[in-house]
Amino acid sequence: MSDLRSVLGEALGEAFARAGLAASFGRVTASDRPDLADFQCNGALAAAKAAGRNPRELGQQVADALASDSRLEAVALAGPGFINLKVSTGALSARAAEIAADPRAGAALVDAPRRVLIDYGGPNVAKAMHVGHLRSSIIGEAVKRLYRLRGDEVIGDAHFGDWGFQMGLLIIAVFDEHPDIAARLGPLETDPAGFSDADRAAVDALLSAKIGLDDLDRLYPAAAARAKAEPPYRDRARRATAELQEGRFGYRLLWRHFHDVTRAALERDFHALGVDFDSWKGESDVNDLIGPMVEALRKKGLLVADEGAQIVRVAREGDKREVPPLLVVSSEGSAMYGTTDLATILDRRHTFDPALALYVVDQRQADHFETVFRAAELAGYARAGELEHVGFGTMNGPDGKPFKTREGGILKLRDLIEMTTAKARERLHEAGLGGALEPQAFEDTALKVAVATLKFADLSNFRGTSYVFDLERFSSFEGKTGPYLLYQAVRVKSLLRKAEEDGAAPGPIAIAEPAERELALALDGFEHALAEAYEKKAPHFVAEHAYRLAQTFSKFYAACPILTAPQAVRGSRLTLAAAALRQLQTALDVLGIATPERM
C-alpha cells in the first residue's frame, strides 16, 4: 500500500527512464498551487539540463506518457517545464478508502526493520532536571514511537545518571549532616561477612526515615556550590566518588538509597508527561565493565597518560575544529561521564546489539558525543554511522536564556507540569467546561491538555531550533497549539458518537466536493510526513501534518454537512471523518499526546 505521491513518482520515473533519463527525476512533491494541481514534478528542468535538451519539450514527452493514466484527471505542463498533476476522483476515493480501512491510518512499514536504541531523558540522581532533560524526554519519546510505528524494534533507555561526582558530593553531605548515618555506614569498607538481612533492613529503615527526595534536592545544590568554593571539600567528594566506584560497601548502601528514591519520583513525573522508558539502565550498571575495558584500551595502544589522567586521543587529520580527547580515568582514579558512555556502548553491543543508537541529547553536548563515538570506533565497539547524536536547541524564557523558575532557579519537571496543568484548568473553565465534566474527568482532561500544550509547543519546531516558552500562547485552544488539535479530535469524536446514536452508518467513500478532495489529499500526505520525520529524526514533520490535517478537517466539516446529508453522501463523509480521526490520533500518539473524550 503506497501513498499517491510515491505511486505517481514511480510512474513519472518510468516515463523519464523511457526517455533515457534517470528515474529519480520523477520525484513528485505537493503542488505549490493547490488551486491548479494536487502534485507537481520539477524533474524535467534538471533532466533537460543534464541531457542538453529543451525542458518544455522533455516535460511534454513525459506528460504525454501519463496522459492515459486512469489515476490522473489532468497532466499539464506549466511554466518553463513543470509537470502539474491532478488526481482523478476515482483514485482519490480509492486511496482514502484504503486509509480508512487501515488500522495504521495510512502509515507504511519500513522494508528492512532494524533494532534501534534510543538514549533519551538522561535524568540524574539528585540533580534537578532542567529544560534540556525536558526536551530530551519529549523529543526522544516521539522518536521512539515514530520508529516503532514504522516497524523497527526499539528500546528506549533513560541512561540514568547515577554514578558521577554528584554521588560523592551527596555522600559527604549526608555524612556531615547525619553523624549517626556516618557512624553506621562510614566504617563499612567491604561487605562484612556478618552483615545480615536484618542489618540491611535496619540500614534501609534508618535511611528512609532520614533522607527523602526533598533532602536530596536541598543537599545537592548546597554541596555543589561548596565544592566550587572549597577545594578541600571538592577533593573529599572526589575521593568519595572514587571509593564508591571501587565498591566501598557503606557508600554503596547509601548510594542505593539515593538511586531508589530518585528513580521512583522520576518515573512518576515522566509517566505524568506520557514518557515511559523501556529500560532504566544507569551509568552505574556498567561499572564492572570499566576495569576490563580500560585494560583492553591499553592493550590496543589507545590509552595515553596525560597529566596523571588516562585519555584516548580521537582527533583526526583534517578536523575543522578541535575534537577533545576522551578522558577515561581522572587523576583521582574515577571513571568519567565519557567513560560510562563508552562502556555503555559495549554493554549494549552485548545485550540488545542495536543496528542504530540515537542519542537524543542537548546540542551543547555535541563535542562530547563526537569524542565518545570516535573512541568507540577506534576501540571497535561500533561502526561509523551506527551511533548518532540527535541534538536539539534550548527552551528559553522571555529573556532568551534557558528557561528558569521565577526565583531564577533550575526548573523542575513536576513544577512545569503543575504550572501548565493549572493553566489548562483555567482554559477549560474559560471554555465553559468547568461544570460540564465530573471532577475526575475534568482533572484527567486538564492533564491531557497540559501534556498536549507542552509537547506540541516543543515538537512543532524543528528540534535544532531554540524556542521561547510562552504558556499563554501555547495553551490557547486556537492557533497552532496542542489544545487546538485535541479540540478538533474531540469534535470528530462527538460527531461520530452522534452519528451512532442517530443510527447513521459509515459507507463507501465517493469524493466529490473540493473540501472532500482536500481532506483525502491531506490523509494521503501522512506517509510522506512520517518518512521525512523518520529519516531526519525530526518529529516536527509529524506535528506539521497533524496540524494541517486538523485544519483541513475543520474546513471540510464547515463546508460539507454530514448528519443532514442524503444517506450515501452521509456514509461517505462519516467514513472520511473516522479516517481523519484515526490518523490524527495516530499522529498525536507518535508525538506522545493522548486525546480526551470530551473537552
Query: Residues in the site for ligand ARG, rule: CB under 6 A?
Result: 119, 122, 124, 159, 161, 341, 359, 361
Closest by CA position to 210, among listed 250, 181, 244: 181
Phi first, then psi: give them for residue 76, nearest 5 degrees.
-135, 145
The CB-of-119 to ligand ARG minimum distance in angstroms stands at 5
The CB-of-359 to ligand ARG minimum distance in angstroms stands at 5
- For 196-231, b/e burial (b = at least 16 CB within 10 A) is eeeeeeebeebbeeebeeebbeebbbebbebbeeee
Closer of 91 and 286 to ligand ARG (Cβ): 286
Closer of 361 and 530 to ligand ARG (Cβ): 361
3-state per-residue secondary structure call for 406-471: CCCCECCHHHHHHHHHHHHHHHHHHCCCCCCCCHHHHHHHHHHHHHHHHHHHHHCCCCCCCEECCH
Closer of 286 and 550 to ligand ARG (Cβ): 286
Closest by CA position to 538, among listed 391, 399, 412: 391
The CB-of-71 to ligand ARG minimum distance in angstroms stands at 47
Task: Give yes or no for a contact between 436 and 598, defined as CB atoms under 8 angstroms apart.
Answer: yes
Closer of 152 and 362 to ligand ARG (Cβ): 362
Query: Distance between alpha carbon 66 and the CA centroid of its chain, in Å?
Result: 41
189 three-state secondary structure: coil
Task: Give yes or no for a contact between 154 and 118, defined as CB atoms under 8 angstroms apart.
Answer: yes
Closer of 122 and 596 to ligand ARG (Cβ): 122
Contacts of 231 (CB under 8 A, 6+ apart): none
Closer of 164 and 571 to ligand ARG (Cβ): 164
548 three-state secondary structure: helix
The CB-of-540 to ligand ARG minimum distance in angstroms stands at 21
Sheet holding 309-312, edge to edge: 303-306, 309-312, 326-329
The CB-of-240 to ligand ARG minimum distance in angstroms stands at 19
Closer of 42 and 124 to ligand ARG (Cβ): 124
The CB-of-490 to ligand ARG minimum distance in angstroms stands at 36
Closer of 168 and 525 to ligand ARG (Cβ): 168
Q: Give the separation between CA 269 and CA 383, rounded to whole angstroms.
A: 36
Residue with nearest beta carbon to ligand ARG: 122
Closer of 120 and 175 to ligand ARG (Cβ): 120
The CB-of-124 to ligand ARG minimum distance in angstroms stands at 5
The CB-of-347 to ligand ARG minimum distance in angstroms stands at 12
Task: Give yes or no for a contact between 336 and 399, defined as CB atoms under 8 angstroms apart.
Answer: no
The CB-of-372 to ligand ARG minimum distance in angstroms stands at 8
Farthest CA pair distance, the chain: 91
Sheet holding 29-30, edge to edge: 29-30, 39-41, 82-87, 72-78
Helix residue ranges per DSSP H, 470-560: 471-474, 482-502, 514-524, 526-536, 540-559
Closer of 137 and 583 to ligand ARG (Cβ): 137
The CB-of-343 to ligand ARG minimum distance in angstroms stands at 11
